[in-house]
Amino acid sequence: MKITVAGTKKEVHDGLTVAQLVVDENVEMPQYVTVTVNDDFVEHGDFESTVLKEGDRVEFLYFMGGGQ
């Protein structure tokens, strides 16, 4: 099936979970990454149970603190 990951179309196997995609994509600091699927946030506790579907759009986000 085809999904879009960080703006790039990719061919992945059926049944792929968000957790496995994080591993497959070698996401830096996976404990700090926030994931959206089709612009909806996925809770860290749901990574293992969230199965991706044909046409899904996945983004990896990092929130940085700082400023004045």
CATH code, domain carrying 53: 3.10.20.30
Count of structural domains, the chain: 1
Six-digit token string for 62: 């990092």
Query: What residue ranges of the chain have pLDDT lower than 70?
Result: 64-68
In angstroms, the CA 60 to CA 33 distance is: 6
Contact 59, 6 (CB under 8 A): yes
pTM score, whole prediction: 0.90
Give pLDDT, residue 67.
Answer: 63
Give pLDDT, residue 68.
Answer: 66
DSSP 7: T
Contact 43, 34 (CB under 8 A): no
Give pLDDT, residue 44.
Answer: 95
Give pLDDT, residue 12.
Answer: 97
Q: Which domain holds residue 39?
A: 2-61
Beta strands at 2-5 and 57-61: parallel, antiparallel or unpaired: parallel
